[in-house]
Chain A
Amino acid sequence: MTDSSRRTFIKGAGTLLAGGLLPVSLVELVFAKTSDNFTFAYISDSHIQQISGNEFVRNFDRGLIRAVAECNLMDPKPDFVIYGGDLAQLGSKPEIDHGLEIMSALNYKTHYVMGEHDYYLDLGEYWESQLGPQHYSFDHKGVHFVILNSILTYDDWTHNRWSSGEERMGVMAGLDNPNGSPFMVGDAQRVWLKKDLDKVSKDTPLVVLSHSPLQKIYKGWNFWTEDAEQIQALLKPFNKVNVLYGHVHQIQYNQIGNISFNSAMATAWPWPYPSSFLKSASHVPKLTVKMNRADPFFERDATGWQFIDVNSGNVDVQYSLTDNKPRTVAFSDKKKQPQDTQYQDKTIPPQEHY
């Protein structure tokens, strides 16, 4: 991508035009090797919810429709799209079909990540029939992409407790349901991951897509991956690692050693930050500048999607936030961690007034 095409690109996101203020880290990156740079779109957490028959909750349909329409506006076009999980609310065929129908308006190839709402009805059987394996990897322009199914849980919970898939899905669908079970990648998939990464040189940048955060943020709402430390240990030997995750329906970002973490917004609805629940402790990364608090009258407020600029192996996330100014969380070469390009040291009331 050339400099001039990047400028048009930034225009689309709403940052001030040439002559105005370009975010500093993007300016730094302009001088990086352009052959290392590309963009992909990242849409997540649509929670298409069936009411009955062909009737779906309009609010959530509109969120995905808007993300797809805005994504189609991108100029220059992204290389591909990644869908971050929770396409359906209860994982049913009508919901997955309806979601895929909306996604079909996208003009680009899409890779899908599994979410728990897609999985627990039938353990991903219908999903796989439409979209392929639940975990896999691919390479693109010198970057190794790994897609994990990180919303699995203990076998006993999955297989031995429920009279039906519907019952199991219903429990897992409640974020605060005390009868849920913590997410994990699990032993088998970690074995696969190690084998997959053994083939990749330590200099190759990694982008890991996961629905759960691959960190331990708040167990009560499953902002949690039980084997986070083990996954992080597998990623540690690589020079540049970026984890992108969904599930949390809010802006979060973090740096653990050499691993950058960035979350996706939901197209459906926002979730409160765990710190707003007073009864138990939580660990939202201190680095994170929160998203703006929503006005629930505007159904798209505090929802959105993102496009990811991969610059020399590090990831800059640009959030397109309906009814709000866009935000950019870019990797700072100086601080070696993600930083919000505008608000990192200067938050505004909607980001604090929770």
Chain B
Amino acid sequence: MKAHAIKNMRTSHYAISTLLLVSIALFAVTLQADDFTDQDLKDWQAAYESVVKEGRAAFTDPDLGNNGVVCAQCHPNGANTHPETYPKFQKQLGRVAALWEMVNWCILNPLEGEPLEAGSQRMIALQAYIHDERRGAALEPGKH
């Protein structure tokens, strides 16, 4: 009786260990959160750059607003948009605001158009382009 019980215990011990090892292996395979390859980086960079391109297209699109004026007319190469200074107090909005809100102000006012949703593809693209042209500028949130 005792030997049989011991054998059973050993079996179940092995079963548990195996189960544990398999679980750990599975866990390791399915949740490699910190592991990405050079190819991943290339893919993600390409994804970003395609959106920057979309942003440039929107930045020069006479139909972004309703009067044919384009962002690039006053902001060649995105100059004088100062993305690195946001959030900051924005006089035209009467409060501390984020970049996308000022982009919408410009679409509404000089471009006489309709504002975009914050998370819309177009708004994200515009921000991507604006930031990209300003690459390298040190962050200075709050600077007028």
Interface residues of A (CB under 8 A from B): 49-51, 57-59, 174-176, 220-221, 269-272, 274, 276-279, 293, 295-297, 299, 353-354
Contacts and interface: CB of A to CB of B under 8 A. Distances in A.
Contact of A299 (B60, B75, B76, B110): B110
Contacts of B91: 295, 297
21 contacts: A49-B67, A49-B68, A175-B72, A175-B73, A176-B76, A220-B76, A221-B76, A221-B77, A270-B74, A271-B74, A274-B79, A277-B76, A277-B77, A277-B133, A279-B77, A293-B80, A295-B91, A296-B92, A296-B110, A297-B91, A297-B109
A278 B92 contact: no
Interface of B: 60, 67-69, 72-80, 91-92, 106, 109-110, 133-137, 144
Given A57-B68, A278-B137, A299-B110, A269 B74 contact: yes
B76 A272 contact: yes
Nearest to B59: A176
Nearest to A218: B76
Given A174-B60, A220-B76, A272-B80, 20 more contacts: A50-B68, A57-B68, A58-B67, A174-B72, A175-B72, A176-B72, A176-B76, A176-B77, A221-B76, A269-B74, A272-B75, A274-B79, A276-B80, A277-B76, A277-B77, A278-B134, A278-B135, A279-B135, A295-B91, A296-B74
Given A176-B77, A220-B77, A272-B80, A297 B92 contact: yes
A233 B73 CA distance: 34
A50 B136 CA distance: 37
Contacts of B110: 59, 296, 299
A31 to B, nearest CB: 43
Nearest to A55: B67
Nearest to B102: A296
Of residues B68, B77, B136, which shows the largest number of chain A Cβ atoms within 10 Å of its Cβ?
B77
Majority SS at the chain B contact face: loop
Closest 4 CB pairs of A and B: A272-B80, A176-B76, A272-B79, A175-B76
Nearest to B136: A278
Given A221-B76, A278-B136, A51 B92 contact: no
A3 to B, nearest CB: 42
A175 B76 CA distance: 6
A221 to B, nearest CB: 6
A276 B75 CA distance: 10
A279 B60 CA distance: 19
B47 to A, nearest CB: 22
Nearest to B134: A278
A353 B144 contact: yes
Nearest to A350: B144
B23 to A, nearest CB: 52
Given A278-B135, A296-B106, A299-B110, A49 B69 contact: yes
Contacts of A220: 76-77
A277 B136 CA distance: 11
B80 A354 contact: yes
A57 B137 CA distance: 34
A115 to B, nearest CB: 15
B103 to A, nearest CB: 12
A274 B80 CA distance: 10
A299 B137 CA distance: 28
Contacts of B109: 296-297
B92 A279 contact: no
Contacts of B136: 278-279
B50 to A, nearest CB: 18
A30 to B, nearest CB: 39
B19 to A, nearest CB: 58
Contacts of A354: 80
Contacts of A49: 67-69
